[in-house]
């Protein structure tokens, strides 16, 4: 899945943070927040993931479109609704 939107980030650090964030979101944890995502990624704290969400130049709508295309193409119905989760933006 990650390869479907990796091109949205111009540098390797944001690409790595996006991958770590995605892995944290799909991890089997009951609570998911900046700290638990950072733990899952092996980071000392949530700074890297928060920086990716808040300071790095990327378009969340374009990434959402990439994810939607993947879901529709591989898992579902083209007309099914897709909810966007707030990403602190």
Higher pLDDT, 89 or 61: 61
Q: Model confidence over 35-81: pLDDT tens digits?
A: 888 888 888 988 887 887 777 777 778 878 887 787 777 776 666 66
Nearest by Cα to 88 from 46, 54, 41: 54
Q: Model confidence over 9-31: pLDDT tens digits?
A: 777 777 787 777 778 777 888 88
The model's pTM: 0.56
Nearest by Cα to 46 from 81, 64, 21: 21
Where do the structural domains in the chain lie, given as residue ranges? 2-74
Give the pLDDT score at 80: 62
């Amino acid at each position: 899945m990650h390869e479907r939107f990796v091109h949205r980030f111009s540098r390797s650090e944001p690409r790595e943070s996006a991958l770590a964030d995605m892995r944290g979101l799909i991890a089997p944890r009951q609570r998911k927040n900046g700290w638990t995502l950072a733990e899952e990624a092996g980071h000392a704290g949530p700074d890297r993931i928060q920086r990716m969400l808040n300071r790095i130049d990327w378009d969340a709508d374009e990434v959402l479109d990439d994810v939607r295309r993947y879901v529709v193409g591989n898992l579902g119905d083209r007309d099914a609704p897709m909810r966007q989760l707030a990403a602190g933006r």
